[in-house]
Structures are given as C-alpha cells and as structure tokens.
Structure 1
C-alpha cells in the first residue's frame, strides 16, 4: 500500500506540531499549583474560576494535572488550605520549580488587616499568606487573589456581585494567629521572597464577579486567563488592566516581574482546546475566545487544528460540541484549535439591568417602558448578563456602566418619571447597542491579517510626544506584544494613528471612538472628503491624520474613559462608506459624531459578512481584524 505524498506531509507536519507542543509542555523544572475557590456571601463563580485556571495551566502552561491540587467550598477550610500549602508546596518545592497559587472567594477587613475567608468561615490574614509565600523556596512563584476586602455597603454594584463581606467578629487578629505567624517567621528560608502577587483589588477597590452566558466567574480571573491563553508573557497584564477599566473596575498595579514566566514559551495561537473526541465529534473548551463574543458564539463557527476543521454544533457557557468537517482523524485530546470563522446571530439586543436600588413599582414601570423600545431587554441586576444598568443617582434617573459607574450626561431632572427617562435615553441605548455589536468583532489574537497600530500623543503642555498604545495582530509576521503605558490624557492633547499594513494586499480601515458619555464617533479625516485615507496600501504605512491635513485629532471632553476601535478589512467597506457619506453635521475636534450609530455599525457588519444568512453573520478571520484600547481623559 502506498501513501500519497500530500497525506504523508500532512502527517509529518502534524507530528512535528505535537512534538513541539509536548516539548514545550515538559519544562526542566517541576510545576505545581494549588487552586482554591470558595463560594459564600452570595457569590457563585469561584468553581468556574478554578476550572478557568486549571485549563489554562494544563493546556497553555504545560502543568501536569497530577501536580494541581484543587480545594473548593467547604473542602477549602482553613486547615485544608494550610495543609495543602505545607505538604504540597512548602515541603515539595525545590529552588527553580514553578509554583502557582490561586484563591477566588470573599475577603474582609479585621481591624485594619485585610483577610481572605476560608470555606469554614475562618479568616486568613494577608500577612499570613505572605509568610506562606516566603516559605516556598523558589523564585518562580505566582499568587493570584481574586477577592476583595472593602465592603461597599451592598452585595451588588451595577450588575456585578461584590467579593467582599462585612466582618462582624473580633476587631483584631487572635493570639493563636499571631503565634502561628511567629513560628512561620522563625522557619523562613534564608533568602525568602514573596514571589509575584496579582490581586484583583486592594483595600480601597471593589472586586466582583459577573454572570456571563450560562456561567458565573470572577471578572479578574476570566479576563486574566483569557488574555494568558493568547500571550504567555507578563506583557499580557497590560491587556488585563485595559479590559478591567473597560468594565469599570480598577486593579492595583500588576507586576511584570519576569521570574515566574521565564522558560514559558507560548506555542501556536490557541483560542480553544479539545477536551474530548470520539469519531468525528467532540467537545471544546473555549477559554481563549474573547468574552465579548463568547455569549453570542453560535453554531456554524469554525475552528482549525493542524489536522482538522471543526464546526461548532452547540455551545453552553465555555464548552461547545463540534463535528469534524474537514481534515483527517483521529482527534487528539489536548490539541489547540484556532478560530477560523465566527458565526453571530443578527437578533442581538441590548441587555439593560434594573438597579437593585429601584423600588418594585419603579422596576415594573421600567419594564413596561422598555416594551416600546426596540432591541432592548430588561433584566434583574446581578442575575443575568447585562450591558448597562438603569437606576438613580441623587434622585435622578439615568444609566450606569455594568460596573456601577454613572454614565456622563445620562441623568435627567429630579421630577422626571421612569417612562420619560427611558424615552429620553433611547438614543443613548442605541449607541450602547452599536458599541456592543462593535465589540463582537474584536479579534486581535485570531485574525490572519498582518497589521500593526500605534497611537502617538503630542501633549498640549509639553514639547515631547509619547506612544500611548502600540500593538499588532497576534498572527502578524512582525508580532510585538501590546504596549500600554499608564498615561492619562488631558483635553487639548493631539493624537495621531500610525497604521502598518504587513500583507500583500490593500487593507481598508475604519476607526471608531467612544467617549465617556458613550457617544459613537469617527475621525472626520477617514470619511469624505478624505476617503483616500480609508486604505493602507500593501506593505505600506499610513498616518492619520496626515501630517499636513487641515484637521486635528484632539482629545476633548467629557472626562472619563475613552475607547478606540480600529477595524481592518481585505475587502472594501462599501456599505458603511456609502452610509457615512450621507452623514451630516460639522465635525468637532476632528470627530464626526453619529446621531444614529446603529445603522452605521450594522452596515459595517454587512461589509464584513462572508456568507451569512437572514439570521446570522459569518465573519472570516482571513478577511478582517478589529483591535481596541482605552485611555482616560482627565
């Protein structure tokens, strides 16, 4: 029997890929982890956090499942946690080993001491946690804490459930705890170090979890693991902080110290991993799919392994059933899969949560008023995924972000009724829906287009310019990690966008901006009469605005978070170009504000659609890329 040359080469390449992945997954140092998740105080997502971290460790960081200890809920008592730290980590770890500890749950403050709550309700002071970390004799140590300490006075903020509880016990640490700490100090290694600690919140910040689509999780854990799926370097933490800001949550500075990450070389891009397979069917873990898109990730979406093309048949939360529609068998559990096309439903609504501070009558009135507003659905805050929140601030009705931050210029007068407020807010709700649809196109780690973007800033009060943002698509031939210096901009600063086409065909672009009041706009110099600036020629660079253009891109009010999304396409964006050409109104600060943003974004999706039908859009990773970032205007 002869083997066709093509099949031989496919098999050889697949074997090489698997050998490369196995070599990457078997580092010279031992790797072990302790994952802790405690659901209490109304939170329910910590077991998902443990799964998110476990799949990341085994599928992307090369950890062996036998070296991962998990403790959840009542099993995660103070005694069990202390025992696992001592027996699994302190006694077993040698210098140079890689160790990860993850805690998800609630925290509190005892006196002035921030503490974690174990599954039996006992407190674990952070000062004790630090001594545990110093007792582990390795400099490759990472501790992730997805818990808060300050209780904001209510269990739900915006649409998020807070991960902190008030403390009603003694106002100081017990003598037994202090004595235990003294014993730990006496036995510390000579050169003890606390490792790297990444915290979702400090004592002045809110830590929260969210309900997504058929699952709940800690927001910090989900964002962190999703970003590390794509880039296993400390630079990924830049993206984590940016995405947390977009969700209206702040984190402490996230250390980019290199010790834990040394020797972890990321293999090929992976958006998912095969969990199980039999014949031509199997199950995927979708840990690397952007969370904006995951809730609407629909049957028909395609992912590719080195040997197969997989089509999604059904999805529930983070797992999906698939069938092989191309390539060769058998399926290999643990194989990474990359997005090939994304199928999205057309009937997507804005989900508007009713704030828990509203009375029952106010919520009933709001639900009735929403029935007259197209493509908007009301839900109860904290119980379902939502895009924004309707509530009151100082007696006036308006909108909040999902993280509970008031949306600028959305609040009316004190005598306004619920129904009148929602009628007034209808254009703002449409703008929020348009932004939601734009977010569904984000794919910087999955797109095949080679593309780089850099945003430079010329401050209004100094001579030297600086780079605000720099990134490239993950599959770019000249890939460079995202650079996001922690800069705030002031009104009057001048921006310029440097776009680099790394492909052999022209790329068509659109830039969208969203200010703190959630107005959707576009730089006026990428619409007529500057339509030629919509195209970046093959292997060339374009600067927007052009150095001698008669317009400026100026930072303007209001103060707050400002988001920029850059959409790039191989094909001309004809529908949106035609519609934008009909847009009237004078640009302000170089920006064209859309009075009716939803048709603009729907036209963009029409341009990007590659074979959908009346019910779905199908977006090909070969054809487009969307990258985004945010900054703060002060």
Structure 2
C-alpha cells in the first residue's frame, strides 16, 4: 500500500472489544430489521480461516462473528445481507469459495451508493511480483484454506490470492462506499510466546500460480483494462473506499488467546471500540485510537494502518461509511426464555473480562437509551468466553424484553481469588515440570501451558535467539543468555525480572515471589478500569512541563469517561499544543528526564475521592495521589467542580520526572463517590513506618494489601448504593459504574 496514514493520536481512553459464536435465530432480529430498512443497502462478506492443514489458527472464525454482531446491532445490517465464509459454513474458504463469494454476494448485488464491507482473517504471505512497485518486489497475498504448493526448478508456486486481485475485485464494485478490513500479516509466522502469528513465510523464491494470473487477466479483459493500467493505478492508491490493515507490512498480526476465547488482537479492539463509540468519529481518529490497545494486547509492536482512495477524503468519513444507529453497549441479548436470557459480551475491555464471570449487573436499554430493566450475569460459557447466561432481576416491561436489546454495564464483580496465569516457555526444557511445581506452591499463581489460554506473563530463559533479536532492536540492559525471568505474552521482556545466567528454576521462582505479588496487585486494580461505562464526570490530562520553569508546554495524553459526558480538554493555557510529541502505536514516547504533571478534573456536583497509581515497566506500583501522609481522610478528596494538579506547582515539594527502566508506563486514575478510607489508612501506615510525610509512595511488597483495601472500599461503596448489590456473592468485590470512574493513561519511557 502507498500513502499509509500512521497513527498519531493519544487523547482517547483505551477501548477493547468482544465476540460471539451464536447462530442466532431469525426472529431475534426485530431491532436489526427496523434499522436495516434505511437505505443504502448494506452488504458484508466475512472470511475467517482457522483450519489450515499445517499452520492452524484459532481466532479467525471468531473475528467474523465479531464483525457480524457489530454490523447488525451497531450499524443496522440485515443478517440476510451478511455472508460468512469460514471452516464452519457451507461455503468453505477455499480459493474458489472466497473469489466466487466476492463476485456473487458483493459485485453482483452492490449498487451505486450501497455500503460494502469485506473482512479477511487468516494467514497472509508474500510472492515475487516485479510490478508491485515495492523495493523488495514482493506482493502481499491472502492464503486460502486449500493453498496449493508446487515447485518449478528453484521456484515455489502457490495459489494465494494476491493484492492485485483484491484491487481488481474492488474496482469491479459499482459503489465507492467500500471498507476492506484485513487481519493478517505478511511476514513472521509461527509462534511467538503465547501468540500465533497470522503469516506463512514467502519471499523472492515464491511465485503466484498461473491460475492467479489467469484470473486477473479475465477481470482486466472484462473491464477493458491493461496490465500496465493495473500497475499504474495500484501505485497511485487503493481502488475504492478504504482498506484497513491490522499491521504494517513488516509487522506481525497476532492471533491471541483471551479469557475463554481466541480472536485477532486488532479485530477484537476495532469492533469493541465501535461498540463503545458515542459519536460518528472519522476513520482516521478511530484507527489511531484503536492502535494503542492493539499494540498492548498483541505484544508484537503491531500498529494498524489504513489507506483511502486518492483524493476521496474518505479518511474523514465514519466507519463503514455509516452512522451509529444504537447507543453504545457492553452486550446484546440473543435469547430470552422467561426470566432467563442469553447474551454476548461484545464491549468488555480484555483485561476486565475476569470481572464478568458472575454477579455482574447490566441495564437493559432500548434503541432510545430508555432503561427497561436489570440483568444479572450468572455464568459464562466455558467453551466461548463471551457468551453469557443471566437472569432478569427487574423490568418495567416483562413482555418487552426481546432478543436484540442491548445491555450497558451497571456493576462488575471482581473475584476475590483471582490468580495470575504464568505461561511456561519451551526454553525451560526439562525444567518445565520443576518450574510448574515451584509456581504452583505460590499463592494465587497458576502455571499453564502456552497456547492453551490467556496468560499474563511467561516464565522462561533468555535464549541466544531472543538475545540477538533484542540486540537488533537496540534494547538496553539485555539479561545474559541462560538467565531466568518474565516475558510479556508476545516475548517482550519484563525489566528487572531476570537473574544470573546460572540460576536454577527453583531459585528463580523464589526470587520472583515479591514480583508476582506486585504483578497480581496490578492485574486486580486494572480490573476496575471502566472509562467506557462509568457514569461519573471525570477527566485527566498528562502535561509535559518545561524542565526549568515548570510551566506546561505540551499535552501528552488524556483520559475521560465516555458516558459520563466529561469534557476531554479542560481549560488549558493557550501555549499548550495537544499531541505534538512523538507517538508510536498511539502511545506517546517521553524521553528520560521529561518532567510531567497530571491534571484531574471533577465535573460532578459532588465531591470525589481520587487516587493516582503508576504501574512501572517492571510491574511495580507507586502512589502519586494522595500524597500527604499526615493529613486526614480528606487527603484523597477532590471537591465538586475542582481541578487538581499533581504535583501542584509552588505547593508540592516533589517533581515527577520520567526515569528508568525504559518501557511502557501506565497511570491509573481512580475516582470514587464513596470514601477510600481503608486504603488511605493503609497508605498512611506504610508512610509512617518509613518515616515519610508526603510525596509519591512506592508500594513495594505492600502493593497486594493496599489494592485489597482499595477494592474493599469500592465494594462497600457499591453495596451501600443500592439494595440490589447487597445480595452479591461474598466471593466477589462489586464496582458500580455510578460510584466509580477508573481510567488509564499510558506513555513509553524512551531513551530519546
């Protein structure tokens, strides 16, 4: 692709997404049919391939359900106008099946002004093509399930579908409103940590099959065009509409395990973001804001990008060229039987899914945002983590609860016994059983095999291959080969977790005990993040300050509650230019030594109790606010309508400066309508024991107990707000969206 638009935004809160594998009956689409009556006609072809003979994937079929549920319930597609081509459908994702489906379902039906969506999830690859215009003369391809491979002399011949072919198929459509979403990549391949890469290696020795060239010639002849025309047009731009790619040409697209299901990291983030969006945002802003979550979830430095037809201005048009037709939501009802309902959780942030296993509450909302009742989540399907069973607790319209109604979060339920899953890397070799036994002896640590389920971290050795890769990426402070430590799911190392080269597994696990406690505490507090669903009006800014004067010179990032209606940009000095810093994957890079300040604004008509927690690249936790350890319980208070600077220039004696280790830093802003008494008492006790009177407080080994007290405070506030919450199981901590706003601001500490 040419003229790619890279992602240069950092001002929206994180959002993620969900999926369903339900084959919902036709009578459940009452609301969708009403929406679908509007013109233009909306057609979608969704292709997902898991069962590749030699390189299987797990999340591609789920991607098609993600898109289907989104298109029906958020954009008003008629289910009859959405064609799925997967391993599980009558039309199989063979080369012929995909091409004929595109011709029959899209090209032959789409009229001028109609909307067309084509989604492909599966393996990508590359073939040699001197006409591509790329410096390496490689053309990206899409691998069908029946890929044919043959050899001719030193060359390999494959039956992939080339990018040129997709260009011709798009050109044949009569409408300009074409959105193509590609969740595959064209380099890498195989496994990476707990992820599977959606690529089969190609290269200069791999060539397209004669049938592929023949198919292209048929379309060129039918359109009255030459191959030279195709070469020139492809180098100008895409054929029509917009093409959204899950990763840049040289990056890796991740097939990712989540809590109870697999999906493409990008498709998951994109579709959930669109479920949560409250405005008809232009696509350039959407993809920019999606990038941050994709990068974090995939752990492969995967940055989505897009291209629009030249001079079309399509980058300023809404997703799929359509406006939203329903309120934002976390779920949608798919079946109703008396007071029992089945629904799929489409709008839950991935790291928060564990708070939606049991007792979570949802408001039943119609397409006019009117609340019709309350549903309690009773269980999630063990074979499909986003299909849930629930009970209707309250309703003003007993006969009015139908499939198609959306659900908005009212309260989540965080398990008291949640564990930290640690994947066992193959680099442990014969020591894997010993590592498993040592980890199992630790409280709330669960060792698991890689590739089976979601893991938070991976325990393994530094291999020679990993060491060389980190050197090529110019990573600082690389641990020695043979040392034991922790990796992220995509094999990015966790700073400060590696020991010496000759350390044995048992000693390594013992050394990491405190680290595990801190990482578990961080996971627990992240389960409260609810910027998409919170009803409180709160916003936060991270500002870059002049190192000498301390005056604000830039805004690096911000966060706000979407449904709370908080203003994203509180009053700022005129000299501040938002987002002028370097951004990569939606996350601002802040060089070491950068001085920053946080601004939290309470836009409620009531006082709020606020805490700011920093989670470092090492997984350690630091409290930035409250920061007066000799004050009363009001130390955490931000009054109604008040803005609080942290630190407050001219008043606070400390400064916040970006320091080592390098890597991603997450700042959690937690605002509660109920007091945080027990957590504050614990923090003050820790400070007193260390002889500290004020300033940021590192939690170290106390992180677990502090977060436990914080969750207890939130739980008491939720249960006291409504009698309905009092019946919550004692094994969970409740978090009410009307009582809590928890937001995240991320940045990357860089060397410059």
Q: TM above 0.5, one fold?
A: yes
Measure, in 2, the Cα distance between the counterparts of 1:185 and 1:558.
56
Deviations 1:232-280 (A, max 9, x none): 6333434421112323233335349133535413532311111011222
- Check if 1:428 corresponds to 2:515: yes
Deviations 1:126-174 (A, max 9, x none): 232233333334332221111122125xx32121122222349962223
- Check if 1:83 corresponds to 2:88: no
Which of 474, 486, 496 is matched with 2:597 structurally?
A: 496
Matched residue, 2:348: 289
Deviation at 1:37, TM superposition (A): 0.3
Matched residue, 1:593: 698
Which of 36, 56, 59 is matched with 1:45 structurally?
A: 59
Which of 365, 384, 390 is matched with 1:322 structurally?
A: 390
| 2:452 alignment partner, SS class | coil
Measure, in 1, the Cα distance between the counterparts of 2:84 and 2:663.
40
Runs of 4+ in 1 over 6 A off after TM superposition: 18-23, 188-192, 461-464, 481-485
Measure, in 1, the Cα distance between the counterparts of 2:224 and 2:160.
22
How do residues 398-547 of structure 1 correspond to structure 2 at under 5 angstroms? 398-458=485-545, 460=547, 465-478=553-566, 480=568, 486=583, 487-523=588-624, 526-528=627-629, 534-547=636-649
How do residues 336-351 of structure 1 correspond to structure 2 at under 5 angstroms? 336-351=406-421
- Check if 1:581 corresponds to 2:681: no
Which of 252, 258, 264 is matched with 2:316 structurally?
A: 258
The answer on whether the counterparts of 2:246 and 2:304 sit within 8 Å (CA) in structure 1 is no
Shift of the 601–527 alpha-carbon distance from structure 1 to 2, 3 Å rule, reads farther
Does 158-167 or 375-384 show the bigger shift? Answer: 158-167
Measure, in 2, the Cα distance between the counterparts of 1:363 and 1:494.
44
Deviation at 1:72, TM superposition (A): 0.3
Which of 189, 193, 199 is matched with 1:164 structurally?
A: 199
Shift of the 481–264 alpha-carbon distance from structure 1 to 2, 3 Å rule, reads farther
- Check if 1:603 corresponds to 2:614: no
| 2:679 alignment partner, SS class | helix
Shift of the 458–175 alpha-carbon distance from structure 1 to 2, 3 Å rule, reads farther
How do residues 238-257 of structure 1 correspond to structure 2 at under 5 angstroms? 238-247=288-297, 248-255=299-306, 257=315
The answer on whether the counterparts of 1:310 and 1:326 sit within 8 Å (CA) in structure 2 is yes
Unaligned 5+ runs, structure 1: 1-17
Measure, in 1, the Cα distance between the counterparts of 2:656 and 2:255.
37
Deviation at 1:444, TM superposition (A): 0.9
Shift of the 625–392 alpha-carbon distance from structure 1 to 2, 3 Å rule, reads same
- Check if 1:97 corresponds to 2:114: yes
Shift of the 67–188 alpha-carbon distance from structure 1 to 2, 3 Å rule, reads farther
Does 250-259 or 21-30 show the bigger shift? Answer: 21-30
Matched residue, 2:25: none
Measure, in 2, the Cα distance between the counterparts of 1:343 and 1:188.
61
Deviations 1:36-56 (A, max 9, x none): 000121212211111111111
Deviations 1:89-127 (A, max 9, x none): 223223332221111111222342222111212411223
Shift of the 575–185 alpha-carbon distance from structure 1 to 2, 3 Å rule, reads farther
Deviation at 1:183, TM superposition (A): 4.7
Matched residue, 2:183: 146
| 1:141 alignment partner, SS class | strand
* Aligned-residue CA RMSD (Å): 2.9
Measure, in 2, the Cα distance between the counterparts of 1:618 and 1:136.
51
Deviation at 1:478, TM superposition (A): 4.2
Deviation at 1:344, TM superposition (A): 2.3
Which of 35, 43, 62 is matched with 2:46 structurally?
A: 35
Measure, in 2, the Cα distance between the counterparts of 1:349 and 1:93.
50
By relative contact order (CA 8 Å, sep 6+), the higher-ranking structure is 2
Unaligned 5+ runs, structure 2: 1-28, 129-137, 148-158, 226-232, 307-313, 365-370, 463-480, 571-577, 720-727
Deviation at 1:467, TM superposition (A): 1.5
Shift of the 590–617 alpha-carbon distance from structure 1 to 2, 3 Å rule, reads same
